[in-house]
A and B are shown apart, each in its own frame.
Chain A
Amino acid sequence: MARADTLARARTLDRPELAYLLRFPTADGMRDLELTWAELARDTEWVTARLREHGLAAGQRALLTASGFEGFWGHAVIGALRALKVPYGIAEAMGWDHRRTAVFHRELTPHAVIGLSAETLGGLAGAADIGEMFRSTPLVLARPAAVPLLRGVGVTAFVISAVGPALALECPERSGAHVNAAEWRFGERDGQLTVAAGEGRTSPLPETPLGITGRVVVGRCGCGSDNPRVLLAEAN
């Protein structure tokens, strides 16, 4: 197998601990953060547990819509889908690629659509009934701006969102998107979310205002998790 041999050779290289250098928007402009392989592995494990809570399991299929610069969370989601043995189709999150989303959705009948964007919905709306299309999809994890559009047409959409360097993912209780408390410290200041890196992260990040309007809810969720939840204004 040619590709397997290529990757076997690649595994002999002296590769760095670092996988990504992440740039994310804050209230004061763009900021950098390093992301190591060890951190990616932990993020993947966390996302796997969240998707498992949603009932995603072997024998089902998923559709992931993302952009090329979203690998830092895309990696964790793909890793989770692989761990759960859920094959996934992939389309761009940009509006002009809506046709690919439509074809994947029609042909693969995914159990889960992950990362659905308002731009994709905007593109689809011209040729399809969004409600009819997604009401039959058991799990729709949508970006914040897409959530009200979906809920408005009767789709039980859950929030998935990059919140600064972290991924927030709503559980089946649908009462805010969980963030991983073992990795990140979320807070709010003047109605805006802040984030700081947890002690285990390689790249230090002091409390940083994100310029995202929202609230943080602490305390045990109905799903049993003690991870805090972020309530994003854009998603409501």
Chain B
Amino acid sequence: MVGDRDTADRYFEPQVETMPRQELRARQEKQLLELVEYAYANSAFYRELWDEHGAHPRDIQSIEDFRARIPFITKDMIRAYRSRTGDPFAGLLCVPVEELTSVSSSSGTTGDPEFFAEIWQDAPPLVTAQVRDLWELGLRPGDRVLSPPGTFRNFMDAGFQALGAVVIEVDTWMGNMPEVVEALRTYRPAYLQMMYPQMVELEHLAEKTDLREAFSSLKGASCAGQPLSRKMRERIRDDWGIDVYEYTSAADTGTAWECREHDGFHLWEDTVFAECVEVDEHGWHDVPESDVGELVATDLDNRAAPLIRYRSEDLVRLSRDTCGCGRTHARMWVAGRSGDETVVQGRSVVLRDVWQAVEDQPETVAGVFQIVRDRREVDELRLRVGYDPHLTGDVDALAGRLSEAVRERTGVKPVLDMRTEEDLLKTMTSVAKFPRVVKT
């Protein structure tokens, strides 16, 4: 049965993962105070910014001081500094470039990719922070893992191998799902990293392939890059028999994974100090734990180029209650991205509503769609939607049904641009991310 496994050995670092919150907070405070000193001494960006705000490390003696005096930073501020100074690391770098091991980057869906400077020994930082999550999923020494489709933020193999897993080198990118199914049957891996386009392709294979049998060796599979829709998640779990673990970005400081409880994304708070706030023209304030706010993150384990009070634009609900798994680190639930809301002639349209309308049509059940807009407030809702040509007899008829379904959900009649799923997925510029809101 999916997810039905021994839980006796579920913590990789039990003392850290189940640390009482009071201890965790004390640890964070120590880390933050060290970080502030370190960043001020070594980062041109922070020194300049904090000087402008009258924030000096000597005045930061507690978490409360940190939150009261250290200003937020945004992606635009980083880009502006880079543009003004010509420094590719935007003044964030705290060590000479020669001391770096590697430089990875963001997906660059909203502009040039942002650099992430990395210093590491056995495994790159991103996948190292996933080791606990992979252990929770059930990965153990000797298990086999299919190689992930991309290099993401550096090769991920070293993280799997740190746990003693053997990586099977198979091209798992788009267009290769028959080979992936063959590899699953041949090598019986315990874990597979999946991305959205792969799932769309697998969905097409499902009719003629026994995917439940093919996936039966998996202890779990992960999925990242964008949230799974309810329908897709049910399909993967109930029809294909996969215990699927979604994960998401921890505001570019690492990742946050679901545990076996599948109730929110765990942040590893010994690596990130997370705040959930609402920012407006008057300032900012914490949002109650039951409410949605913006995730603001501070790197606690990054000596190369730490992000400090970084506004992620991710809208989340954050809880510090102990999870059913026993872990004490905070969990978050992602509600969307600030800026993804589109206002059509004064009417608010959110992605979730469009998504449900698209998923409700059998030919577009995979949910491949984009909102096309050059600004947030527009006169018409332009939607680009991908359909499965094998299931679509009459594209015009589908467009008619879809148009009505979107109008019912959002109150706005869309202007539709129908493409095949394959055509639309080919426009991806990242292994992980299929952009839902595009300019052209």
Which of B97, B156, B164 meets A16, CB within 8 Å? B164
**A67-B173, A100-B108, A108-B103 as given contacts; A5 in contact with B16, CB under 8 Å:** yes
For A9, the chain B residues whose CB sits under 8 A away are 12-13
Chain-A contact segment, one of B142-150, B230-238, B346-354: B142-150
How far is it, in angstroms, between the C-alpha of A96 and the C-alpha of B300 when the chains are bound?
Answer: 33
B206 at the interface (CB under 8 A from A): no
For A5, the chain B residues whose CB sits under 8 A away are 13, 16
How far is it, in angstroms, between the C-alpha of A70 and the C-alpha of B120 when the chains are bound?
Answer: 20
Tell me if A59 and B170 are in contact (CB < 8 A): no
Tell me if B141 and A13 are in contact (CB < 8 A): yes
Which of A2, A14, A18, A88 meets B166, CB within 8 Å? A18
B122-135 vs A, Cβ < 8 Å mask (1 yes, 0 no): 11010011011000
For A87, the chain B residues whose CB sits under 8 A away are 97-98, 100-103
A75 at the interface (CB under 8 A from B): yes
Which of A7, A20, A94 meets B128, CB within 8 Å? A7
Residue among A11, A24, A68, A87 with the highest chain B CB neighbour number at 10 A: A68
Which of B102, B129, B164, B270 meets A90, CB within 8 Å? B102
Chain B interface category by residue count: 35 or more
Which of B128, B169, B429 meets A96, CB within 8 Å? B429
For A103, the chain B residues whose CB sits under 8 A away are 105, 108, 112-113
Residues from 1 to 59 in A contacting B, C-beta threshold 8 Å: 1-7, 9-11, 13-16, 18-24, 58-59
Which of B108, B125, B151, B161 meets A19, CB within 8 Å? B161
Tell me if A97 and B167 are in contact (CB < 8 A): no
A206 at the interface (CB under 8 A from B): no
For A108, the chain B residues whose CB sits under 8 A away are 88, 103
Interface of B is mostly: loop
Residues from 187 to 205 in A contacting B, C-beta threshold 8 Å: none
A217 at the interface (CB under 8 A from B): no
**A9-B12, A9-B13, A21-B168 as given contacts; A107 in contact with B88, CB under 8 Å:** yes
Tell me if A67 and B151 are in contact (CB < 8 A): yes
How far is it, in angstroms, between the C-alpha of A146 and the C-alpha of B191 when the chains are bound?
Answer: 34
**A13-B141, A87-B102, A94-B173 as given contacts; A6 in contact with B13, CB under 8 Å:** yes
Tell me if B169 and A71 are in contact (CB < 8 A): yes
B438 at the interface (CB under 8 A from A): no
For B428, the chain A residues whose CB sits under 8 A away are 96
Number of interface residues of A (CB under 8 A): 51
For B429, the chain A residues whose CB sits under 8 A away are 96-97, 99
Tell me if B142 and A107 are in contact (CB < 8 A): no
Tell me if B187 and A21 are in contact (CB < 8 A): yes
Closest Cβ–Cβ distance, residue B104 to chain A (whole Å): 6
For A82, the chain B residues whose CB sits under 8 A away are 101
Closest Cβ–Cβ distance, residue B70 to chain A (whole Å): 21
For B105, the chain A residues whose CB sits under 8 A away are 89, 91, 100, 103-104
B313 at the interface (CB under 8 A from A): no
Tell me if A71 and B167 are in contact (CB < 8 A): yes
Residue among A6, A74, A91, A108 with the highest chain B CB neighbour number at 10 A: A6
For A88, the chain B residues whose CB sits under 8 A away are 102-103
Closest Cβ–Cβ distance, residue A235 to chain B (whole Å): 21
Tell me if A2 and B301 are in contact (CB < 8 A): yes
For B115, the chain A residues whose CB sits under 8 A away are 89, 107
* Additional A-B contact list (4), CB under 8 Å, known A68-B431, A90-B103, A96-B429: A16-B164, A67-B149, A90-B104, A104-B105
Q: Can you report 9 residue pairs joining A to B where beta carbons are below 8 Å apart?
A: A2-B271, A10-B162, A21-B167, A68-B147, A70-B169, A74-B155, A78-B155, A87-B97, A94-B173
Q: A residues near B, CB below 8 A?
A: 1-7, 9-11, 13-16, 18-24, 58-59, 61, 66-72, 74-75, 78, 82, 85, 87-92, 94, 96-97, 99-100, 103-104, 107-108
Q: B residues near A, CB below 8 A?
A: 12-13, 16, 88, 97-98, 100-105, 108, 112-113, 115, 120-123, 125, 128-129, 131-132, 141-142, 144, 147-152, 154-158, 161-164, 166-173, 183, 187, 268, 270-271, 300-301, 426, 428-431
Kindly list the 10 A-B residue pairs having the minimum CB-CB distance in the complex, ordered from nearest: A107-B88, A15-B164, A87-B100, A10-B162, A71-B157, A2-B270, A89-B103, A3-B128, A69-B147, A2-B301
